[in-house]
Structures are given as structure tokens and as C-alpha cells.
Structure 1
Amino acid sequence: MTSNQYESAQPPSNAISGLSFSPYTPQRLLVSSWDSSVYLYDAIDGAKQNQYAFDAALLDVCFGQDDDEAFACGLDLNVHRLDLSTGDTAVLSTHSKPVKSVIYDPSTSLLISASWDATLHIHSLSSSRTNTSFTSISLPSKPFALSLSKTKLAVAMANRAFQIYELAALATLPEGEVNHQLWQARESSMKFMTRAVACMPDDSGYASSSIEGRVAVEWFDPSEESQKRKYAFKCHRVTEPDTGADVVYPVNALAFHPTRNVFASGGGDGLVSLWDAMAKRRIKQYQKFGASVAALAFSCDGKYLAIGICPGFEDGKEPEDDMTGLVKVVIRELGPDEAKMKAKK
């Protein structure tokens, strides 16, 4: 089977802020947008199945404990639960500033939100606690991105800071504000602001990206031997034909394949590349899209790659009043060897 790529006929009307495939049914895709809506798509044909309106711009969305539960967050400061079957919503907690990220771990029933007020809200949604109870953890700086592995939570923040938590420890925290002991605190090996983070599916490490066209790959194991394996590389740069100078773009999005240490990167240059994290090589680069790549997500079976396209304003121009035709939800059905890792010698 060869790969197949198509666009949704009904994309959001404003910039895309987040993409999330269902961890249970591969073709169910959620998209959050600055137009204050969550969109539900079918990845098989890109058809929009539903649209759910909120009162303010949304910055992230994720699925919950099943295909009918979702969580969204954004500029209204709230963490929302959304019933996709009925459209009903409920507020689980409220931060003091906009909520940048929300992520759910089915194995522990933890919903984690990260706000620009420099806090995490840890919602334990098991049957033993009410849906509106949560634990608040203070962060040293403003969070930019979250990612989960099988046992860990990685938080990328301002000032090139990273914090890594063990999910099992977060699941046992009491309600209220706590001073939780970290598993690890790190500083990015890149010199500029972190934009995205994505954990490896084998629970061994993570990739992070910066605004200055670089990606770093690191391992959780703090041993000296393991830390010697970490590396960083340049990407999403375009050479000017007249001057030979590099034009550097932010790497806005990262996503790991669900079963392989292969990840996709998306940049302000409108390009998406696939990388083998272990072999330190690029596997594939797709054709240039019409605008910046804002978000990426793999389906739970690795068959689909969703790509959120919208103006990133890297050129310094003001946002368009009408984004018709500039915002796209692209779904790529991968061929069997499209994300294949390099064979070990």
C-alpha cells in the first residue's frame, strides 16, 4: 500500500493550537483552535463529524478515558471536560492565567493541565475522587509544553528549564497545593527557548525543539554513560540562494510514532520531517505546505499522521483577518515502510 494524503474539507476558521488522536480508536481526531472550538474528524476521509463551541480561544485538547470524553483548555483560564456524544461541558479547575496544555494518562486516570500562571493542576479522575478535586504544583517558570511516556511526565518551560515527574508519584498526591519532590530537573542543551517536547514510546527519553531551528534528543537515565548519548541537530532551515545565509525557523511541533523511536518534526518553514531518533538520521521529508506547521499527532496504531497548518507569522506580518484557505488539517495515511527505523548492524 502506498501512502495517501488528504485535507479536511471543513478546517477551523482560525489558527490550530492542538491535535489529539484517540488512544482507543485510530481514526478519531480532535483539533483545538483559536476560533474557540474543538473539532472532531474522521481520519479515514478527513470528514468533520462535529464542532463544539467554547467562550474563548482554545490552546489544547486531548481525549479522556474513552472515545466520548475529551478535555480542552485555553484563554478562559478553565480546564473543561467535554462529552463528545452530547456536547455537554463541565469545568474541572480554574487557573489564574491562560491554560497552555492539557494531557490525559489512561493508566493512572490523571488529567494534567499546565498554565501560564506557572502551575500544574493534577486531576485524579478515578472513581474514588470527585471530578473537581485537584492538586496544584508550582513550577519555576512558565510552561510551554507537556508530554507523557508510560511512566513519566515531561514539562518544558521558559528559561530552558525541564522538569520530569513520575506518574505513579503524581497519582498518590493529596488534594490542594503541594510541594512535590521532582524526579528530575534539567536544563535544555539548546541555547534558545523551547517550543515543543515529545516522549519516546519505549519510555527511555524525549525529544525537544527550540525556536532556533534545532531538536535535541535526551534519555531519562541520569547515568553518565546514558547522558553521553544525548545529541542535538539543526533542522528547519532554508538557505538563501542569493546570499547562502541560513534562514532559521522555529520547530513548532514534535510527535513520536506510537511504537517506534521515530518522530516527526514540523516547523515554521512549512515542512514536516520524519527522524530516526536512534540512528540520528532523517527518514523522510514531505513536500512544503502552504503555511507554518503548528501541530502534529500520530494515531495510536501509527497508520495516520495529522498535520495542523496555519500562518505562524514568522515573517513578522500581522495575522490575516480572514484565514480561509490558510488553515488546513492534513491527514497522511502512512505506507508500511514510511516510518521504518534503520536496521541495526
Structure 2
Amino acid sequence: MSLFGGGATTNAANAAQQAQGDTSQDIPIQSPPDDSISDISFSPQSEHLAAASWDKKVRIYEIAADGSSVGKAMYDHEGPVLSVHWAKDGSKVVSGGADKAARMFDVSTGQSQQVAVHDQPVKCVRMISMPGSNQEMLVTGSWDKKVKYWDLRTPNPVATLDMQERVYTMDVQQGLMVIGLAERYINIVNLANPGSIFKTMQSPLKWQTRVVSCFPDATGFAVGSIEGRCAIQYVDDKNSSMNFSFKCHRETPAGNTSTTNVYSVNAISFHPTYGTFSTAGSDGTFHFWDKDAKHRLKGYPSVGGTIPATAFNRNGNIFAYAVSYDWSKGHTANSPQYPNKIMLHPMKEDEAKPRPATKKR
């Protein structure tokens, strides 16, 4: 049954109403970071959220069923923290920062230790499981143009991949790792053969890459750039006809139809159940999309500040988004009054669930 009943006029009115999202019930995390939030990540095993901040700290929050939150742990880097990720069993948190190091925090002992080092800031960290192995490893990507694999039981990297440029963004899903670099390079790695790059391509978007995010089924990935565009890319060449890009996070000022303001796409998160995804940007809005149907499911009003990071929890019933300055307009646009918070959006089923095809009349 179609969600949009009635005639053409009713269809249009209902569609517009369906596409409008509500943030009035969103709940702020208690005791948020003291400076810009660079990354957030949910535990895959529990309702715990880790947040990386420019205040040189990683904070871990526990979220109750009613959306209330309490800080459970915190550990330090020696510089701004740029990335954070959980181990698959939820027992550890890893983070990378401008101190050129990655650190690991053990949730059970409350202790952190340095586990990786680069020659430049560590922009991305991910915990991975090699195909056919239960052994979990850390992967770090840096502005020193290297990606390193670390066995956390030993102090030196077990392998290093040389990149063409600085690492800006990285994501892993099953055996797929996608790395977004400066100068629009994108490297694809098959983790069954982690010591080599499976495929190198230029981003299908014309401007600087801000984020890559792998599909849950690992058949492809989404790319977001500073030009207010998102691209959907499949890894296998036989699916290249399914690749496409679309405009988002743009606005036309009232009374000035000749001008379009374009905003960076900072974050892309895939829903763990439905495979639909969110985009969030420097315009302070987030949206949910269905890549297979090629349409927007929901759009939300501005949250009052730029959104640098987003994450779904393990079952997809909470969507977290950070509101803090993303430096998209340089240091002059920042101020002590700029909002700095993490919000929890309770997901309703119709917000991210693919809609049945509308029947033609």
C-alpha cells in the first residue's frame, strides 16, 4: 500500500508533509565537550556514545532508554582529537588526533595507552577484522600520506600503505575499506588483500572530499564534498550504471533566485537496518535519503549551527548529531557563543524506512 493516497493534489500535499522532519523532541547530551566536536561513534554492543573533541579529550556517554545521558569515562590526547571508533565487542575505544598518535581506551579498566604513531596528525581511525580472521586490528590514516595497520599487541605497524595525498576520511564495512584523500583521490582496499590498493579513482565530485561512508552490504560507498553534493558509487564495474550524484545542502536566499548558497557535506551515516542514509552539513541541516529509490525521505530544519559529525546507534532507533563550529568559514566565523552540543534524535519508523513505490494513477 502506498503511503501517499488520494489524487494528484493530495499526493503533493501529503508528500510535502511527509518530507518535513521534526527536531522538537531531540535531547541534548549532558556535559558535552568544551570545544568543537570532530567525530562521534556509537558502541556496536551497547548504548554508549564516544565523542572526539578539539579540547583534546574523548568522552564516553551512557544513554538511557528515555534519552537521558550521563558521562561514564574520559581520556586525553596531547592535541585535538579528530577521529573515534569502537572495537566490535564494545570493550575498547580507539582515537586519533593532532598529536600524531592514536590511543586505545579499555572500557573495563578505565586505562588508555598510545597504540600508534604517524609523522603528521592522525585524521582517521577504524577497528577492522580481516576476512577469515577473528583478530581485530587498528587502521590509521594520516596527513603524512600513509595508512598503517596495527596489531595492538605489538608497538610497530604490521603493514603500511602509501597514499597519493593526505588522508581526509576513511570508512570500513566488512571486507571493504575506502579512503578519501586530498586532491579528490579515492582509494579502495579489499581487506582480503590489505597490503595493496584494489582500485584508485578520482572522486566523481568536482571539489574537495569531506567524507566517505561504506554501504552496510559493502557493495559501494557514498562520497560527500564541500560543494553541496553527494555521490553514490558501486565498487564493481558491472554496477557502474547505478552510480549517480545529487545536490544537497544548498539554499536559494529569499528574493534572490539568481544566487545559491552551497554548503559542505560533512557527515554521511548509513542506517544499520534499512540501508538508507543521512547527510549533514555546514548549513546546519540533516536529511535522510533512499539511494535505491533516489529520493529524499525526510529533511529537517536548521539546528542553529553547523553539523560536523553524525552516527546511528546499533539498532537505528537513535540518530546522534553534533552541533559545533566546523571551520567552514575560517576562524573569523567562530565565537565563544557558538553552540557546542550533541543531540539525540529519536527515530520514528517512517523517517528512515524505504517507502513503498507510489502507484501510478
TM exceeding 0.5: yes
Choose which of 28, 32, 39 in structure 2 pairs with 1:7: 28
Query: Which structure has the bigger radius of gyration?
Result: 2
TM-score by length of 1: 0.90
User: Do the aligned residues in 1 keep the contact of 2:77 with 2:97 (CA within 8 Å)?
Assistant: no
1:113 corresponds to: 140
In the alignment, residue 245 of structure 2 is paired with which amino acid?
A: A
In the alignment, residue 338 of structure 1 is paired with which amino acid?
A: E
In 1, the alpha carbon distance for the partners of 2:71 and 2:300 equals: 24
In the alignment, residue 192 of structure 1 is paired with which amino acid?
A: W
1:199 corresponds to: 214
1:287 corresponds to: 301
1:143 corresponds to: 167
CA deviation profile, 1:20-66 (whole Å, cap 9, x unmatched): 111111x1110000000111112332322222222211001111243
- Structure 1 residue 300: deviation in Å? 1.4
In the alignment, residue 184 of structure 2 is paired with which amino acid?
A: R
- Structure 1 residue 87: deviation in Å? 3.1
Choose which of 40, 46, 70 in structure 2 pairs with 1:47: 70
In the alignment, residue 93 of structure 2 is paired with which amino acid?
A: A
- Structure 1 residue 131: deviation in Å? 5.6
In 1, the alpha carbon distance for the partners of 2:41 and 2:331 equals: 29
Choose which of 302, 310, 316 in structure 1 pairs with 2:324: 310
Choose which of 101, 104, 109 in structure 1 pairs with 2:127: 104
Q: Which runs of 5+ in 2 are unaligned?
A: 1-21
Which deviates the most, 106-115 or 139-148? 106-115
In the alignment, residue 276 of structure 1 is paired with which amino acid?
A: D
SS in 2 for 1:293: coil
- Structure 1 residue 73: deviation in Å? 0.9
In 1, the alpha carbon distance for the partners of 2:149 and 2:177 equals: 11
1:124 corresponds to: 151
Cα distance, 1:76–1:187 mapped onto 2, change above 3 Å:
same
In 1, the alpha carbon distance for the partners of 2:234 and 2:173 equals: 12
- Structure 1 residue 297: deviation in Å? 0.7
In 2, the alpha carbon distance for the partners of 1:88 and 1:334 equals: 34
2:191 aligned with 1:167, yes or no? yes
What percentage of residue pairs aligned between the two structures are identical? 29
In 1, the alpha carbon distance for the partners of 2:300 and 2:102 equals: 35
In 1, the alpha carbon distance for the partners of 2:357 and 2:275 equals: 13
SS in 1 for 2:193: helix
- Structure 1 residue 220: deviation in Å? 1.0
1:235 corresponds to: 248
In the alignment, residue 42 of structure 1 is paired with which amino acid?
A: E
CA deviation profile, 1:78-136 (whole Å, cap 9, x unmatched): 111112333322222210000001011245512110000000011134xxx53644321
CA deviation profile, 1:121-162 (whole Å, cap 9, x unmatched): 11134xxx5364432111011111011122110001111111
In the alignment, residue 177 of structure 2 is paired with which amino acid?
A: L
In 1, the alpha carbon distance for the partners of 2:313 and 2:241 equals: 32
In 2, the alpha carbon distance for the partners of 1:90 and 1:314 equals: 32
Aligned length: 328
SS in 2 for 1:168: coil
SS in 1 for 2:183: helix
In the alignment, residue 63 of structure 2 is paired with which amino acid?
A: A
User: Do the aligned residues in 1 keep the contact of 2:26 with 2:346 (CA within 8 Å)?
Assistant: yes
Q: Which runs of 5+ in 1 are unaligned?
A: 171-179
2:122 aligned with 1:95, yes or no? no
TM-score by length of 2: 0.86
